[in-house]
Structure 1
Amino acid sequence: MSQGVTVFDLTIDPTRLTKSEVTGIRVAIGISGLVAVVLGIIVLVWPSSTLSVLAVLFGLYFLIAGIVRVARGLFTTGMSGGLRILAILLGLLLIIAGIITIRNPLDSLVILGMVIGISWIIEGVAALVETAPDSSKWFGTLFGAISIIAGIIVLLTPLQSIGVLVIIGGIFLIASGLIQVVQAFTFGRASKRITAAL
């Protein structure tokens, strides 16, 4: 019976990473999650703030998430080459989306909604692709699914009602941030138990 050959393995296997790389990924996921929670609370607490302030907050989130993703791709040597390249490319896309959102917050509600929706879809796809085969897998999968769903909702929601975008955005940021924080605590835990058992 022949075994299937995996051409591109894009998952992050904590057992192939050094202890410092696992810690770096955990810190990166945790920082991204905390930033999302804080920005989500700000968005929901001050929904009446101007659109430009909200756009800058969303832009900052995408900028930070993109930088974290690029850093993971550059400095995590235990990941496969394909995953490192994917992390860098997706990170660059998020950085570009963040810059566009920050630089042009009031140009068009449609453009702002599209940038936010597309950015969440990109982040969700990346999260689904990168899920680790350990106890953090379900949190990574949940984060990816929520991110994609929120992105699609934002793309399909008529942007005449910016209130919908603000509420969806704030709720998504808090939910995804909490999931990322939990994922940061669970990432690599199974690999520690496996290593200890050997």
Structure 2
Amino acid sequence: MTDSLASEAKSLFKSIRVVLAVSGVIALIAGIVLLVWPAKSAVIVTGIFATYLVIAGLVYIGLGIFSRVKGGWARVGHIVLGLVYIVAGVIAFANLGVAAATLALVVVIFIGISWIVDGVVALSLLGKDGSRVWTLLYALLSIIAGIVVLFSPLYAAAVLWLVLGISLVVLGIVQIVRAITLGKDAKEFVASAKADSAL
């Protein structure tokens, strides 16, 4: 292995290490923020979502106005959709606290419904699946979890936010450790490559 190849490998390892470290630090900070300030972080997430709605609305309106390829109704549809997005974004910005609570409820209710549907689908596959006991267990747990979430959406939203925060902290720490250990692995790799090229 030549010195240029060893330096390229070292550079690649360094780039990967930086990406792992930066993403780990961001995940760790985000997780801590979610755990320490859950209400404020929910408002920030809602603000980001509201910003997305306004920007997406402007893009759709631009597509509707300036598109020469689309037909008349498609252009009108894009403009109407853009206006709906902008109105939703402005309403969310008007009261971010209420919008955050509403968004959390909608997401949690969607999760509850999707778990129930997933359980029903698993039950419908019961006769076709080889492991009936596991399929039945999964289906029942999924349906029960979905019902519990639907009957206590605020509690479920709080638990989901807590789990998200803890997950981000753990994943951030793991990413940082990976970045550190990758640095050691890179040094060993480059040293062994140089030793091999000397032979």
Q: Same fold (TM over 0.5)?
A: no
Asked which structure has the greater CA Rg, the reply is 2
Q: When the two structures are superposed, what TM-score results if normalisation uses the length of structure 1?
A: 0.40
- Compare the two structures and name the one with the higher helix fraction: 2
Q: When the two structures are superposed, what TM-score results if normalisation uses the length of structure 2?
A: 0.40
